[in-house]
Amino acid sequence: KQEVTQIPAALSVPEGENLVLNCSFTDSAIYNLQWFRQDPGKGLTSLLLIQSSQREQTSGRLNASLDKSSGRSTLYIAASQPGDSATYLCAVLMEYGNKLVFGAGTILRVKS
């Protein structure tokens, strides 16, 4: 059974810092990995999707990497801003089936 773990559970940083969020998964038979942002009481906004054959994806200040064989992904946020404060979720889509398996998320607070 696929298990997705995110570290740290919470992170508080001053504005302007670069930061790294970590995601690990136990079963490397994944089709892709998505990073989402969730604001309190709101839905999930897709930030980046990495196919299993890719090593990284970039969007603006965000860069996500994937090491499928070791079961790890990182989300790098450059020059953090208070507006980046949210919960960041990692989810993997298995090669078999079409359900996303989510991690518990990292709660990020960027202080101004």
Partner 1 sequence: EPEVTQTPSHQVTQMGQEVILRCVPISNHLYFYWYRQILGQKVEFLVSFYNNEISEKSEIFDDQFSVERPDGSNFTLKIRSTKLEDSAMYFCASSYSSYEQYFGPGTRLTVT
Residues that bind partner 1 (CB under 8 A): 31-32, 34, 36, 41-46, 49, 89, 91, 93, 97-105
User: Which of 47/110 has CB closer to partner 1?
Assistant: 47
Name the DSSP letter for residue 24: E
We find the least distance from the C-beta atom of residue 17 to partner 1, in angstroms, to be 27
Give whichever of 45 and 70 is closer to partner 1, judged by the CB atom. Answer: 45
CA angle 9-5-19, nearest 5°? 50
Contact 106, 24 (CB under 8 A): no
Cβ-based neighbour number of residue 19 at 10 Å: 16
**What is the nearest approach in angstroms of partner 1 to the Cβ of residue 27?**
15
